[in-house]
Amino acid sequence: MKIISYVLLLTITYYSCTSVHMIPHNQSDYDEINEDLDGRKVTILKINKEVIFGDNVMITPDSTFWLNSQHNKLSVLTSGIREITSESAWRGAKDGFFYGFLFGVGFGIAVALLVEPPRSGLDPKAFAPMIGIGAGIGAGVWGLMIGAAIGHMDRYILNASSDSTAGYNH
């Protein structure tokens, strides 16, 4: 039972670590993305499958600008970009703790309510909330560590085509 719960926790944590954003072509959406990506390292995937790494991306309806590893400002037409991805270990840790805590509380309370009380001693059902919170903290710590290791990926799809997301997952 313990192994199953850890496998479930790992699965939930892993699959909750990616957000996909389909971006329509208007300035207000680009402003929001620019704010999200400000100061972060990104990977830019062009429509021709070329991969570019950069920092400090700024997207406009016409062009997308970034700094390369030599701190040179480069640009490409926004229409030539398929997607931009960015990873954050901090957000992964935060999400991991949140989902781990929720899973642990639910699991802890369920176990406390389903277990048969011993012939003598305290009934675990009376302590179900405390058992749930304890399990939640334990699972949250595991989720925090896993989430920090995996990170959280934000994928911004700028130019979706029939094959824009096929075969490109982290």
How many CA atoms lie within 13 Å of 51's alpha carbon, on the beta-carbon side? Answer: 4
pLDDT of residue 141 exceeding 80, the answer is yes
| pLDDT recorded at residue 167 | 41
User: Range with the lowest mean pLDDT among 20-29, 116-125, 145-154?
Assistant: 20-29
- Using the 8-state DSSP alphabet, how is residue 163 labeled? T
Give the domains, in start order, of the chain with CATH numbers.
Answer: 2-9+90-150 (no CATH), 18-87+151-157 (2.30.30.100)
- 131-140 per-position pLDDT tens digit: 888 989 999 9
User: Average pLDDT, stretch 93-109?
Assistant: 89
Phi and psi for 167 in degrees, rounded to 5?
Answer: 75, 5
| pLDDT recorded at residue 154 | 86
pLDDT of residue 13 exceeding 60, the answer is no
Q: Which pLDDT band holds residue 165 (cuts at 50, 70, 90)?
A: very low
| pLDDT recorded at residue 131 | 85
Mean pLDDT over each residue of the chain, to the nearest integer: 81
How far is 74 from 52, CA to CA, in rounded Å? 10
Phi and psi for 17 in degrees, rounded to 5?
Answer: -100, 20
Q: Return the CA Rg of the chain.
A: 22
| pLDDT recorded at residue 166 | 43
| pLDDT recorded at residue 46 | 92
Exposure string for 71-92, b = 16+ CB within 10 A, e = fewer: eeeeeeebeebbbbbbbbeebb
| pLDDT recorded at residue 14 | 59
How many CA atoms lie within 13 Å of 14's alpha carbon, on the beta-carbon side? Answer: 8
- 35-77 per-position pLDDT tens digit: 888 888 899 999 999 999 998 889 888 889 998 888 889 999 9
